[in-house]
A and B are shown apart, each in its own frame.
Chain A
Amino acid sequence: MDITTQKPAAPPAPGPAAPPPDTRAARGVTRPGDRIFLGLSRGSGILVLVLMAAIAAFLTYRASLAISKDEANFFTTFEWNPSGLPPEFGIAVLAFGTVVSSVVAMVIAVPVAVAIALFITHYAPRRLGGPIGYVIDLLAAVPSIVYGLWGALVLVPHLDGLYGWLDDYLGWTGILEWNDGAPRSLFTVGILLAVMILPIITNVSREVFRQVPRMHEEAALALGATRWEVIRMSVLPFGRSGVISASMLGLGRALGETMAVAMVLSPSFTISASLLDPGGGTFAQNIAGKFNEATEMGRDALIASGLVLFVITLLVNGAARLIIARRKEYSGANA
């Protein structure tokens, strides 16, 4: 059966018999065991590449089927009706909602997470720091569906007060105006996403801050620096690339978060100027919400929107990589 050869993640398939002779000759001895082992591990590496290529290829293929039948502009249409006659759908609302909710989440989560990481590594009494880090570790493992359940049944009913307050004092800005309606808006989604990505960003940042060479800190202290100056001069510069990659990790999760958004947001295909008005949608939420009732054409359209999400996360990750690569001198595991 050729199905077995097609499945994307075959068990440790050792690649084709491993004959790569490039740098091996220069390094001298090659034993058969070495050759097999190299083949196995290189094969796995290649499998990862093949998998990524396959993801891009198959998503593009199905997406092109849908987009070629789309009678409206795929990027600017405010509508999702892929099984209509004629089929019309576009991702404008989804792109807007995804970006806005992720931005809200990042604005809230990154400073707080960095502060907590600093708290654990540099401020908390040592007897407290360990357990807190441990608890945050555990919280990072809480699945998104549980955050979604909590968001929908606990957070949303508690947000009326905050919404009223924001509306009273910041309503004049236009983007924080609340015209009643349940607080199931992109702003709430942003808050929930912030809570979700907080433990992840904290975790990674904490690990990085902990690796700051003792000598750097002690040198700063010896020069008479205050605790804050130690952090600003030795901890933060050392940890910058780590914090950035932690944030990107969090951003990736926020961009692609499905269930929590689907449970909290009351979706609609409109863009509202105010963040507090219910409505809007995100790529992932739209896919989960529309999948069950979708026809084959509808599924292809959802795959098309998933492809856009894929490309966005690819760009975000690429950007993060570039930033980190430029700051490589700081992120020394062997420093």
Chain B
Amino acid sequence: MTHTIDDTRRSGSLRGATLPKWFPWAVAGASAALGYGISAAAGLHSDIQWALIAALLFVGGSFAVSAKVEGRRQARDRTATSLVWVAFLLAVIPLASLTWETVKRGIEVLDGYFLTHSMGVVADSEPGGGIYHALLGTLEQVGLATAISVPVGVLTAIYLVEYGRGRLAKAVTFFVDVMTGIPSIVAGLFVLSLWILILGMGYSGFAGSMALSILMIPVVVRSTEEMLKLVPNELREASLALGVPKWRTILKVVLPTSVGGITTGVMLAIARITGETAPVLLLVWGTNFINANPFQDPQASLPMYIYLQYTNGSEAAYDRAWAAALTLIAFIMILNLVARGIARWKAPKTGR
């Protein structure tokens, strides 16, 4: 959209001088060579060092040349461009490494056996075993949490957008925002103090899903709120003008228009809580055996399984941890992709 600026090189006397398009690449090459040469001459070993010297040379060099030829404003523009590129490349490294390591090391033990067996008869330090019990626990806990949070969250958002006036709405908006920031471990501690320490209930999957729904509700509220706000007021007014009651307007006009966005928001919220470990660690407790009943006795869960295998510390356990991490990521990614597919499929024709 904005690269037209340096396209026209020879365009009359109204434009200042511009540097050719290959200029940044030339400076980049020169400063990389120079940086490498300097560090080789000074006997520096670290990759970070010569990269840093080269980067400084690049930014300084292109600024100086450009300031001379094109003027200060263009020079500053070039500096900003190169800083943005550097930041981007810098951020790619860890994120790419994370993805690569997880896939590479996770694929080693991940197979059908791993997905369909529990850790019931396997010693932690030996190879073998699987994540069936953890998968089951995660699905049940997340399912329960979703069943609790989606109605509450969507209705709260409807209240805020369609009805919300006055002090109550302001308070709800404020506390939903505050709730978004609640650390997962605090949600876990709350359920622990109420459900387990005060009411004397045992550790169970349901206790975990209560904590998870505390984390999920604000996310659902916020995303639904955003989506409802995107619905054009003209649609509501048209419906109301036809004499349709407000609640039917909401159900038949507002919600269908935004259902794609709401579904996306809900699925992203599910993806978020699926990976939560801390509350599960405090409330579900964990087990190596299959427990299909989320309302009684400790269960396992995928993120907690990763943690337990990691703390176990043997090579076989690390392998299992990576494989479970890959499974978890795959699950979350599939959720994300499906969510986006729905969003695209259901998107209103005029929407963004």
Contact = CB atoms under 8 A, between A and B. Distances in A.
Given A34-B245, A146-B328, A258-B183, A58 B190 contact: yes
Contacts of B83: 115
Contact of B336 (A138, A149, A217, A258): A138
A149 B174 contact: no
Nearest to A306: B189
Nearest to B168: A45
Query: What 3 A-B pairs have minimum CB-CB distances, sorted nearest first?
Result: A143-B275, A256-B183, A115-B87
B197 interface: yes
Interface string A163-203: 01100000000000000000000000000000100110010
Interface string A46-60: 111101101100110
A150 B102 contact: yes
Given A9-B149, A48-B172, A52-B178, A111 B307 contact: no
B62 interface: no
B119 interface: no
A313 B168 CA distance: 22
B263 interface: no
Interface string A116-160: 101100111010000000001111011111111110111100000
Nearest to B272: A141
Contacts of A43: 155
Interface stretch (B28-36, B110-118, B159-167): B159-167
B181 A317 contact: yes
A11 B172 CA distance: 18
Contacts of B147: 11
A244 interface: no
B156 A48 contact: yes
Contacts of A165: 46, 48-49
B278 A41 contact: no
Contacts of A31: 245, 247
A145 B174 contact: no
**Interface range, B side:** 35 or more
Given A144-B275, A144-B277, A252 B156 contact: no
Contacts of B204: none
B332 A152 contact: no
Contact of A44 (B2, B159, B192): B159
B181 A150 contact: no
A237 to B, nearest CB: 16
Contacts of B277: 143-145, 258-259
Interface string B75-104: 011011101110110110011011101100
Contacts of B185: 256, 258, 283-284, 287-288, 306, 309
21 contacts: A9-B210, A41-B158, A44-B155, A45-B172, A51-B217, A55-B187, A58-B193, A115-B88, A141-B335, A144-B275, A146-B306, A149-B310, A199-B95, A221-B2, A227-B80, A227-B81, A248-B181, A256-B183, A310-B186, A321-B177, A333-B230
Contacts of B179: 48, 51-52
B189 A229 contact: no
B155 A41 contact: yes
Given A41-B162, A138-B336, A314 B178 contact: yes
Interface of A: 3, 6-12, 22-23, 29, 31, 33-34, 36-38, 40-49, 51-52, 54-55, 58-59, 61-62, 111-113, 115-116, 118-119, 122-124, 126, 136-139, 141-150, 152-155, 161-162, 164-165, 195, 198-199, 202, 217, 221, 226-231, 248-249, 252, 255-259, 262-263, 283-284, 287-288, 291, 296, 299-300, 302-303, 306, 309-310, 313-314, 316-318, 321, 333
A155 B152 CA distance: 40
A119 B5 contact: no
A250 to B, nearest CB: 11
Contacts of A3: 199, 201
Contacts of B85: 119, 123
Nearest to B190: A55
Interface string B172-211: 1011111111111111011111110111010000000010
A321 B174 contact: yes
Which of B88, B91, B268 neighbours the largest number of chain A CB atoms within 10 Å of its CB? B91
Given A116-B87, A149-B306, A228-B76, A45 B183 contact: no
A217 B169 CA distance: 35
Contacts of B275: 141-146
A31 B190 CA distance: 40
A12 B217 CA distance: 12
A33 B94 contact: no
Nearest to A284: B185
A124 B3 CA distance: 10
Contacts of B307: 145, 148, 259, 262-263
B210 to A, nearest CB: 6
A199 B149 CA distance: 25
A34 to B, nearest CB: 5
Contact of A333 (B95, B191, B229, B271): B229
Interface stretch (B53-61, B121-129, B318-326): B318-326
Contact of B183 (A113, A284, A318): A284
A42 B159 contact: yes
A249 B193 CA distance: 26
A262 to B, nearest CB: 8
B178 A146 contact: no
Contacts of B46: 161, 164-165
Contact of B217 (A10, A34, A48, A198): A48
A9 B152 contact: yes
B9 interface: no
